Structure 1
Amino acid sequence: MTEQPREQWSSRTGFLLAAIGSAVGLGNIWRFPAIAYENGGGAFLLPYLVALLTAGIPLLIMEYTIGRKYRMSPPVALRRMARPAETIGWWQVVISFVIATYYAVIIAWAVRYMGFSVGQQWGDDPEAFLFGDFLRAPETPGFMDGFVSGVLWPLLAVWVVVLVILAFGIRNGIELANKIFIPLLGVLFAALVIRALTLDGAADGLDALFTPNWSELGNGSVWVAAYGQIFFSLSIGFGIMVTYASYLGRRSDLTGSAMVAGFANSSFEILAGIGVFATLGHLAAAAGVGVHEVATAGIGLAFVAFPAVISEMPLGGLFGVLFFGSLVIAGLTSLISIVQVVVSAVQDRTGMGRLPAVFGVGGLIALVSILLFPTESGIFLLDASDHFINQYGIALAALVALVVIVWVLRQLPSLQQNANATSAIRLGVWWRICLGVVTPIVLGWMMVDSLRAEFDENYEGYSTGFLLSAGWSVAVGALLIGVILAFLPWPAGGENPDLDMEAPAERKDH
């Protein structure tokens, strides 16, 4: 069969916007501010910067290099290193599949809350509105509940948008969408932050966030939190950056691109911290309480605390549209990248065309998402799945991949040589030490620390049966399905993963 040249980004800027769009997601807005506040305030920025330089950027460079060198999605790229390593790649693909199914639901909530902001339909009790009127969540989680139409229809819309963008391919779909979405996100969020800074009490919120508690630097959990935040916010460990980098030209600057993407992501997180805590300072002042009493994270921050602020501030409806609009755009750019991992893996292994892969594989992800999560117990399924797939999927898969690539296959010297051949900033011993020693130790400690907490008490007080069925089974199932996919007899006609199928035209400097 005649091999088709692999799609490529039209420019380095296009790739960077896509990479930044993937990294900047919901966690930047609702996770980083709370993590920083709880772990030393302004002092947290020191371990955060150390984690970025010793784990985040080195891992980004490694994933960029693997993607560009082997020009394939994670399963085939890792198989080209060593056939058994393909299992790790499929494990990452299944993790992306799982994350995509529930990530889309949160975007759907944000779509609805853009509309709710105009009339402030949550009334005087945003928490009761979220869990009762909107999500119709029961007291305890169950299975096979009724559908929640108010979540179902925006979820359908989210999936239509994502699949249509992916159907247009790398340049005309993903790259073009990010060229529109990322500048728009910057404008929306800048406007939101400026408005937040003008609120009464904003200074108190910023003092609470940035006043350094230097004594916390001696606490090991603070450093683990810093590495965890960097790790989970940069879209590393589950195949996204390997996939995106596989569409780069052969002469692309990898280390420089990793630096730009890493610092852009961190800058957005700090900006998000300013906007969030300025807003929380206003909420605390209005309620006559300390900032610590209103500081929260995740769903509680976005869909309970922020609506409470919107209800009592001047021009609250506009502020709400800006905030939830930012969540929608940040979520979409990340969701597109997550689904692309699965689509690309199937394309590379089967030779399937773009449209059949997007609407077949992407359609399957959308179907699972629509069947499971816009239900009355969907919030509980989402919470458990997210916790376990993050802790025992992404982090564990990254740890295994690092150990295999660095210590078993000893690929770092080859990858370093490949990156240095075209990069302005050359890699040295520091890069190998970070990936061979520092990052595996930190990831290993995160595993131990997380498991210890897991066995001390059930996550969020859920029943053991529910956690086994909706949490542990998801994490373990991702690994088992990855193993099965690695050993499946794939249909003839796909890329031969044992050969370098690089077309002559792709050797040119694009």
Structure 2
Amino acid sequence: MKQDTGLLRTQKRRENEGRGNHASYGGTEQDGGMEQGSEMKVETSVTEATLDTQEERQQWSTPTEFLLACITTSVGLGNVWRFPTTAFENGGGAFLIPYLLVLLFIGRPLYFLELVMGQFSSSGSVEVWRMVPAMKGIGYGQIIAAWSVVTYFSYLMGLTVFYLIVSFSEVLPWSVCDEAWADENCVDASFNYTSNSSASYQSSSEQYYFNFVLHFKADISDGIGLPDWRMTLCLLFSWSVIFLSLGWGVKSIGKVVYFTALFPYVVLVTLLVRGAMLPGATTGMLYYIFPQWRRLLDPGVWYAAVTQAFFSLSTGFGVICHLASYNNFFHDVYRDAWIISMADTLTSLLAGFTIFSILGNLAFQLDTNIEHVVRSGSGLAFVSYPEVLAKFEWVPQLFSVLFFLMMFTLCVGSIQNLTGSIITIITDQYPAKSKFAITFGICAANFLFSLTYATPGGQWIFTLVDYFGGSFIIFILAIFETVAITVVYGLKNVLRDVKFMLNKDLGIYWRFSWYFCPVALLAILIYNMLYLCLPTLEGKPLPEAAYACGWTLAAVAISMVPVCLITTLYQAKGETFIERLRSIFRPAENWGPRKEVHRREWEKLQCEEKQRK
């Protein structure tokens, strides 16, 4: 058969490119009843082979670097402080059921789809839309979403640097009440709580965080104030680290991920063992997994599950496509998708057990219920955890340093890859420009934007950007993305490209999931709009002007889709309006594999399919 001949040529090319290079970390594969008899080999040396008209593109030095970079991106702050809090607020163990289902039928399929499209085209999240030129605006919208998350992630990184530095003190500063920032309601780590204690008492770690670190402003009607000089220096240091890790492209990222991907597991396991030995730890862990089955009928739980899956896996931000674009064309991303998604889920569960074991100990010492010591958002990491660290009898400074060093590495991993995706988009558009200079410019701009969060009213801005930039925008762009790829470009074409690149026939699970994704996401979005709950801070609504800014941010990001559609239509070729309209919903002439040799084989396969029809 002609199709078999084309695929045999591709397989021979795949094997030839694998010879003489480093071995892949994988072995034999089996998918849908089809076995691959020989070990998949991938190109791992940094080769620069592109179309004659395109700039050279770097590749990962080893496949392990790519895998660890993806793990670093997907396993981050969302797993350490966002997942346990979300699970706690949405039914404990019952939340795990919708979360795992969402991960199985939405998160993982979309993750694999972005990996495939990025590797197949060797392009970032804008240039990849040569497959459907009309939807190029999705990539630009993802830039705004990624930038939003990067700005407040970098602020969390600055907070982490601050706490890491003060952790080297002889006495942890939040373990005692200092008159410089504490009031008469402050109680330190040695205070003997009883059930008759006044509800107005606040822990020293809480007052230290809000009064000394944040200089928290409860009312921003007169403005958010000026940036704190200490946090400004911490942010400057943070962005210097990010710049150094990005300045030399994917090769520098590849070296950093060996540490940023593995170190958090060492710390989490260490702290879990230590936390499990504390009084009350078992109660905390049981509370974490205890199911409230009635919550399964609450649509809000499913909305939270999708939000967590997207935030955790980093799908919809363009970063996954960016990372995969530096792969060898025949690299087995099918295997990576399963490994990364499983690592993400297990890390979330590990972080949950770690944190709730310590929160259980805190509830035991305070003689109160766990719900009274859990604080959502940044409070979980910078109030509850430091408070318990201060109660460790054996070298609390050591555990504090380990924890905040872990937080720092998580921030580095998440920020460098999200920022890298933005850099890739710009360098793809302007290949003649210096990548080093572009990286410096983006890091400097992000540093200036992140200063907004270092103001006394910064927590209000943090809450606003997290809601609109980190969740709402991504929901809508993800719907556009899945419809554009599976419906407009066509699921049949996606399956053909996967077969050509990976030599795999995908089964019913992938076909069903890719059709199910946009339907499920649209249903959740409609529910969210019908029962809209705008973000609040400590139960207080934000000013109307702040909500207006949030909606403006969302509108700008989403409007990239129709604006780019109209621009592309205006530039399209064709004698009539209908011809031009049809052309922008078909793959562009330069769509396909980046290497000339792969493109020719792919085009031959397309011709053989047409002749067979």
After TM superposition, the score normalised by the length of structure 2 is 0.76
Shift of the alpha carbon at 1:155?
A: 0.4
Question: C-alpha deviations, 1:291-323, integer Å up to 9, x for none?
Answer: 232233321211111122122221322222222
Corresponding position of 1:446: 524
Structure 1 CA distance, aligned partners of 2:162 and 2:134? 45
Give the letter for the 2:320 counterpart.
Answer: M
Matches of 1:331 and 1:390, distance apart in 2 = 15
Q: Which of 83, 97, 100 is the matching residue for 2:133?
A: 83
Q: Which amino acid aligns with 1:37?
A: F
Q: Which residue of 2 aligns with 1:63?
A: 114
Deviates more, 1:114-123 or 1:130-139: 114-123
**What is residue 111 of structure 1 aligned with on the other side?**
161
| Mapped partners of 1:373, 1:223: distance in 2 | 30
Q: Which residue of 2 aligns with 1:494?
A: none
1:299 aligns to 2:391 (yes or no):
no
- Paired residue for 1:42? 93
**Aligned pairs for 1:376-387 within 5 A:** 376-387=456-467
Question: Partners of 1:75 and 1:207 in 2: how far apart?
Answer: 45
1:502 CA drift (Å) = 2.0
After superposing the two structures, state which structure 1 stretch, 156-165 or 133-142, moved more: 133-142
Paired amino acid for 1:47: P
**Deviation of 1:102 (Å):** 1.9
1:227 is paired with a residue of what secondary structure? Answer: helix
Residue 167 of structure 1: CA displacement? 0.8
**Residue-by-residue CA offset, 1:383-420 (whole Å, 9 max, x unaligned):** 2111111232112111121222223x143222222224
Partner residue of 2:263? 184
- Matches of 1:216 and 1:24 in 2, distance apart? 27
Give 1:6-21 correspondences, 5 Å limit.
Answer: 6-21=57-72
Aligned partner of 2:76: which letter? G
SS in structure 2 of the partner of residue 373 of structure 1: helix
TM-fit CA distance, 1:157: 0.6
Secondary structure of 2:136's aligned partner: helix
Letter in 2 for 1:83: P
Partner amino acid, structure 2, of 1:65: V
Q: Distance in 2 between the 1:128 and 1:485 partners?
A: 48
Unaligned 5+ segments in structure 2 are: 1-51, 177-187, 189-203, 572-587, 601-613
Checking the alignment, whether the CA contact within 8 Å between 2:148 and 2:470 is kept in structure 1 is: no
Distance 1:143 1:81, change over 3 A: farther
Secondary structure at the aligned position of 2:390 is classed as helix
2:143 pairs with 1:93: yes
Q: Which has the higher contact order (CA 8 A, sep 6+)?
A: 1
1:327 alignment counterpart: 407
Q: Distance in 2 between matches of 1:507 and 1:197?
A: 55
CA distance in 2, matches of 1:463, 1:212: 33
8 Å contact from structure 1 (residues 110, 324) kept in 2: yes
Identity over the aligned pairs, expressed in percent? 28
Q: Aligned AA for 1:16?
A: L
Q: Cα offset for 1:458? A: 6.1
Q: TM-score, normalised by structure 1?
A: 0.90
Question: SS of the residue aligned with 1:146?
Answer: coil
The alignment partner of 1:74 has SS state of: coil
Are the equivalent residues in 2 in contact too, given 1:117–1:307 (CA < 8 A)? no
1:121 aligns with 2:121: no
Two-structure CA RMSD over aligned residues (Å): 2.6
Structure 1 letter corresponding to 2:231: V
More helix by share: 1
Q: Partners in 1 of 2:366 and 2:66 — Cα distance?
A: 45
Give the alignment partner of residue 413 of structure 1, picking from 472, 475, 492: 492
Query: Which piece of structure 1 moves more, 235-244 or 293-302?
Result: 293-302
Contact 2:135 2:561 in 1 (8 A): no
**393-402 or 439-448: bigger deviation:** 439-448
- Residues 442-490 of structure 1: per-residue CA shift (max 9 Å, x gap): 3223323333443678675334423234422222233346766785999
Alignment check: 8 A CA contact 1:3 1:503 kept? no
CA distance in 2, matches of 1:40, 1:471: 29
| Cα offset, 1:269, TM superposition | 0.5
- In structure 2, what is the Cα distance between the partners aligned to 1:193 and 1:387? 30
Assess if the C-alpha contact under 8 Å between 2:467 and 2:535 holds in 1.
Answer: no
Deviation readout 1:125-147 (Å, 9 max, x if unpaired): 22222122111122212546222
**For 1:432 and 1:275, how far apart are their aligned partners in 2?**
37
Amino acid at match of 1:67: G
Match of 2:590 in 1: 499
Q: What is the one-letter code of the residue matched to 2:81?
A: W
The residue number in structure 2 matching 1:168 is 248
Query: CA 1:479/1:220 → structure 2, altered by over 3 Å: closer, same or farther?
Result: closer
Question: Where do 5+ consecutive residues of structure 1 fail to align?
Answer: 491-496
Alpha-carbon distance in 1 for matches of 2:436, 2:563: 25
**Structure 1 residues 215 and 111: CA distance shift in structure 2, 3 A:** same
Tell me which residue corresponds to 1:493.
none
CA distance in 2, matches of 1:244, 1:480: 26
Deviates more, 1:14-23 or 1:36-45: 36-45
Aligned position for 1:223: 302
Change (3 A) 1:30 1:247: same
Shift of 1:423: 4.1
